[in-house]
């Protein structure tokens, strides 16, 4: 029963998120965000402050509202209510400023399938207003680091799931955004490609940029992120540093189960026909 789970929203301290004059604005500030699809309330009053320069995980069970929240934060879906700022700019009042500063790898990524990987990056670079030579240089480096150089002339339609994620990531990084949003970047990706993606993202955040990614894989979030927000039933259950959100639990997984109220859920006798060989 997620609604009864305790909130563990951690007060922001220090790190440039407190609105002091001259301070770096948070990477993302969300206030009173709501989204309803017919009868279904997908996002129910989310307040979220994500500090700049961190590797941030947004976690939550299926249907928690992560994709809906990220879609609104990145300007892909209009909220019913609420205010969203990215790097100090209002997403819906100042979309051009925001879109220049962000990179997005959305869920169910739609790419220009009939372009090769290399052409896709060239096209993306031009859309971003980068000079041709710079696009060529960055595209070659990204393709190389992401182990796509051998497939750069293959059409995107012929790419595997993992290759699609990697070329989508390259396209999202090409203009060197301040904040990178990734919806389930590791889903369907083999361990070698996951390690490659991870290396690129770690290098990116080390230079002061922010990564915000959604995931169900707690071990991954625990090993990658220094900051975590937990979402369930359209609300934020906890947000803060990894240590703050984990609290006294032995792992992020256990803290998560406690926060979303799923601890101890079992099948009881409801699947008593399953197994044992009888039909």
Ligand X SMILES: Nc1ncnc2c1ncn2[C@@H]1O[C@H](COP(=O)(O)OP(=O)(O)OP(=O)(O)O)[C@@H](O)[C@H]1O
Applying CB under 6 A, which residues contact ligand X?
Answer: 37, 40, 42, 60, 62-68
Query: Residue 82 carries which DSSP code?
Result: E
Q: Which residue number, 38 or 129, has a Cβ lying nearer to ligand X? A: 38
Q: How far is the CB of 64 from ligand X (least distance, A)?
A: 4
Q: How far is the CB of 63 from ligand X (least distance, A)?
A: 4
Q: Which residue number, 30 or 148, has a Cβ lying nearer to ligand X? A: 30
Contact 242, 234 (CB under 8 A): no
Q: How far is the CB of 43 from ligand X (least distance, A)?
A: 7
Which positions ≥6 away from 216 have C-beta within 8 Å? 59, 60, 61, 62, 184
Q: How far is the CB of 90 from ligand X (least distance, A)?
A: 22
> Among residues 113, 132, 217, which one has the least CA distance to residue 174?
132
The Cα 42–Cα 219 span in angstroms is 26
> Among residues 18, 23, 55, 29, which one has the least CA distance to residue 180?
55
Q: Which residue number, 65 or 79, has a Cβ lying nearer to ligand X? A: 65
Which helix (H) or strand (E) is 19 found in, with range?
none
Q: Which residue number, 89 or 165, has a Cβ lying nearer to ligand X? A: 165
Q: Which residue number, 108 or 276, has a Cβ lying nearer to ligand X? A: 108
Q: How far is the CB of 225 from ligand X (least distance, A)?
A: 17
For 167, counting Cβ atoms within 10 Å of its Cβ (0-12 exposed, 13-18 middle, 19+ buried), the class is buried
Contact 117, 152 (CB under 8 A): yes
């Amino acid at each position: 029963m997620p609604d009864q789970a305790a909130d563990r929203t951690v007060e922001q301290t220090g790190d440039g998120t407190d609105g002091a004059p001259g301070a770096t604005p948070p990477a993302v500030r969300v206030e009173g965000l709501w989204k309803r699809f017919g009868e279904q309330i997908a996002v129910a009053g989310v307040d979220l402050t994500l500090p700049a320069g961190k590797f941030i995980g947004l976690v939550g069970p299926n249907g928690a509202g992560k994709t809906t929240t990220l879609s609104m934060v990145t300007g892909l879906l209009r909220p019913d209510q609420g205010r969203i700022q990215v790097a100090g700019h209002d997403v819906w009042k100042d979309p051009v400023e925001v879109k220049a500063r962000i990179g997005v790898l959305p869920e169910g990524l739609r790419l220009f399938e009939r372009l090769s990987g290399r052409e896709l990056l060239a096209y993306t670079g031009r859309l971003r207003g980068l000079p041709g030579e710079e696009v060529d240089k960055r595209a070659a480096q990204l393709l190389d680091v992401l182990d796509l150089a051998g497939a750069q002339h293959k059409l995107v339609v012929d790419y595997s799931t993992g290759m699609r994620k990697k070329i989508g990531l390259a396209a999202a990084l090409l203009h060197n955004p301040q904040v990178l949003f990734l919806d389930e970047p590791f889903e369907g990706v083999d361990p070698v490609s996951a390690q490659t993606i991870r290396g690129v993202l770690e290098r990116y955040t080390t230079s002061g940029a922010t990564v915000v990614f959604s995931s169900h894989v707690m071990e991954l979030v625990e090993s990658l992120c220094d900051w975590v927000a937990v979402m369930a039933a359209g609300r934020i259950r906890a947000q803060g540093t990894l240590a703050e959100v984990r609290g006294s639990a032995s792992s992020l997984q256990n803290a998560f189960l406690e926060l979303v109220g799923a601890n101890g859920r079992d099948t009881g006798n409801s699947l008593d026909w399953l197994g044992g060989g009888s039909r």
